[in-house]
Amino acid sequence: MNQIGHFIDGKRVDGTSGRTQPVFNPATGEIQADVALASDAEIRAAVENAKAAQPAWAATNPQRRARVFMKFVDLLNQNMDELAVMLSKEHGKTVEDSRGDIVRGLEVCEFVIGIPHLSKSEFTEGAGPNIDMYSIRQPVGIGAGITPFNFPAMIPMWMFAPAIACGNAFILKPSERDPSVPLRLAELMIEAGLPAGILNVVNGGKSAVDALLADPDIGAISFVGSTPIARYVYGTATASGKRAQCFGGAKNHMIIMPDADLDQAANALMGAGYGSAGERCMAISVAVPVGEETANRLIDKLTPMVESLRIGPYTDDKADLGPVVTKEAQARIRGLIDKGVEEGAKLVVDGRDFKLQGYEDGYFVGGCLFDDVTPDMDIYKTEIFGPVLSVVRAKNYEEALDLPMRHEYGNGVAIYTRDGDAARDFASRINIGMVGINVPIPVPLAYHSFGGWKSSSFGDLNQHGTDSIRFWTRTKTVTSRWPSGIKDGAEFVMPVMK
């Protein structure tokens, strides 16, 4: 049995806590490895290692830090196939989808190669009589990232790339469900020239999270996961004086206007709703057609498309989607579909009993399509995180707009229309963090920021883009005056510019 440990001081190390958790192959249900769960002492050892290494890294000039990421990007491209298969084997998503996971993380690494420019700040000569004023950005010190199972390459890179580029050391606590890729990324960072101790990876569950939250030497925490845990991490971290950015759940809507190209809209819904088995925080899980005619035509187009989804293991290069990540996730998704039927929604396509020959023990769920869903139903309110699309019919644009506006979550939203006025009004009024206009999954590129509103996000600064540089640094402002410009005698009044 493959034993997966931690990555501390530039190398893999075995776990010493005596506690492990199995890592499954979601396509077969078989145990393929045991991952060590770190003790508090192991977490502390990783932090001490990072603390010893960080000052020299912070003193390394930004160009040299950027060169590490130049080499790392090159290594990611060289090792893309190995990483994608490794990721798919533990997560279950298709290999091509895994490549997309890695590339979207790689793009943030490309962005931080610009750290010599991104970390520049401001200078004002002559801000007052013989006074110069300037600000500088300095690293927080040690940061920590707690990442989810659904993007085991992308989200760790979204966190550690800007943190490390800014001069911090970083402790990564990835999901214990698919831990192999984060450890391999750490090895590649060392190969790219990162000093040992600047990126440590520790595996573990809630106790590891709590140890990171309690550690006095960790100055900032980044988290992605469910909303209840995001709220807990944010509250605990900030109460102990840490800065925190915590991203939670989602229920992303797509509004389809009567003038939309329905073929484009249906294709967008298929990819955004069922890709990666719906296990994306930016998945479209609610379609809102405006008007009965639009709704009926949309259902007619979607039904055969959902019925013909090709579901298979990651080794099937023709599969549209693979299994969900765990048996527990499979049971939870099926239970929510059952609840939707009980509540009166119309299950147009039922994938609950999907079985794949030769993979009967895999965690597969067939594509499901609901119609006549209403906002009071659990399947509308809850993030299902599975291959389930709910259609909520709206009589008009205002009713359609009101649905995502009133929902608890505010991560992503989209509208499909040919009407520029409607699109502009929608983008202006909607209270959602990321908006797509004829774009189904509006994940911003690396040089813009990623983050939701409402119960989807806690904290003032988002991931990647310039927000990430602000989050992983502290601003220090210096006011400077030299003796030749200083008057004799004490001044007892508040200094002002005259």
pLDDT of residue 452 exceeding 70, the answer is yes
Q: Residue 492 — pLDDT band, cuts 50, 70, 90?
A: confident
Q: Are residues 39 and 173 in the same domain?
A: yes
Do 452 and 461 touch, CB atoms closer than 8 A? no
pLDDT of residue 359 exceeding 90, the answer is yes
Return mean pLDDT, the chain.
Answer: 96
Instruction: Transcribe 40-86 into DSSP letters.
Output: HHHHHHHHHHHHHHHHHHHTS-HHHHHHHHHHHHHHHHHTHHHHHHH
Alpha carbon distance 441, 450 (integer Å) = 12
User: If we measure between CA atoms, which residue out of 149, 156, 4 comes closest to residue 76?
Assistant: 156
Q: Are strands 169-173 and 142-146 parallel, antiparallel or unpaired?
A: parallel
Where is average pLDDT lowest: 280-289, 355-364, 488-497?
488-497
Alpha carbon distance 256, 299 (integer Å) = 12
CA 89 to chain centre: 20
Do 485 and 149 touch, CB atoms closer than 8 A? no
Domain containing 339: what range? Answer: 252-437
Flag whether 34 is in a domain: yes
Q: Are residues 229 and 330 in the same domain?
A: no
Q: What are phi and psi of 204, to 5 degrees?
A: 170, 180
User: Any idea what the CATH number is for the domain that residue 329 is in?
Assistant: 3.40.309.10
Which three-class secondary structure state does DSSP give residue 131?
Answer: strand
DSSP helix, strand, coil percent of the chain (3-state; round to 5): 40, 25, 35
Alpha carbon distance 15, 431 (integer Å) = 45
CA 296 to chain centre: 34
Q: Are residues 242 and 387 in the same domain?
A: no
How many folded domains does the chain comprise? 2
What is the pLDDT at residue 485? 63
Flag whether 449 is in a domain: no
What is the pLDDT at residue 493? 79
Flag whether 336 is in a domain: yes
Alpha carbon distance 146, 159 (integer Å) = 9
**Percent of all residues in the chain with a pLDDT value above 90, rounded to a whole number:** 96
Q: Residue 484 — pLDDT band, cuts 50, 70, 90?
A: confident
User: Any idea what the CATH number is for the domain that residue 201 is in?
Assistant: 3.40.605.10
Flag whether 489 is in a domain: no
Flag whether 187 is in a domain: yes
Q: Are residues 364 and 391 in the same domain?
A: yes
Q: Which of 109, 166, 246, 281 is catalytic?
A: 281
Alpha carbon distance 247, 229 (integer Å) = 9
Q: Are residues 238 and 147 in the same domain?
A: yes
Return the biggest CA–CA distance within the chain: 90
What is the pLDDT at residue 302? 98
What is the pLDDT at residue 487? 72
Q: Are residues 84 and 127 in the same domain?
A: yes
Flag whether 147 is in a domain: yes
Q: Are residues 239 and 344 in the same domain?
A: no
Alpha carbon distance 420, 413 (integer Å) = 17
Q: Are strands 30-36 and 20-25 parallel, antiparallel or unpaired?
A: antiparallel
Handedness of CA 92, 250, 445, 190 (dihedral sign): negative
What is the pLDDT at residue 402? 98
pLDDT of residue 498 exceeding 80, the answer is no
**pLDDT per residue over 248-297, tens digit each?**
999 999 999 999 999 999 999 999 999 999 999 999 999 999 999 999 99
Q: Which residues pair with 132 in a beta bridge?
A: 480
* CB-count exposure of residue 153 (10 Å: 0-12, 13-18, 19+): buried
Helices (H), 382-496: 397-406, 420-429, 465-471
Residues comprising the chain, all counted: 498
Do 240 and 411 touch, CB atoms closer than 8 A? no
What is the pLDDT at residue 489? 76
Choose one of 437, 468, 486: the last residue of a domain. Answer: 437
**pLDDT per residue over 49-107, tens digit each?**
999 999 999 999 999 999 999 999 999 999 999 999 999 999 999 999 999 999 999 99
**pLDDT per residue over 170-227, tens digit each?**
999 999 999 999 999 999 999 999 999 999 999 999 999 999 999 999 999 999 999 9
Q: Residue 491 — pLDDT band, cuts 50, 70, 90?
A: confident
Do 313 and 322 touch, CB atoms closer than 8 A? yes
Q: Are residues 99 and 244 in the same domain?
A: yes
pLDDT of residue 497 exceeding 70, the answer is no
Write the Ramachandran bin of 130: left for phi over 0, alpha for psi from -120 to 50, otherwise beta: left
| Catalytic residue check, 368 | no
Q: Are strands 131-139 and 123-128 parallel, antiparallel or unpaired?
A: antiparallel
pTM given for the model? 0.96
Q: Are residues 411 and 472 in the same domain?
A: no
Flag whether 462 is in a domain: yes
Q: Are residues 110 and 159 in the same domain?
A: yes
Flag whether 118 is in a domain: yes
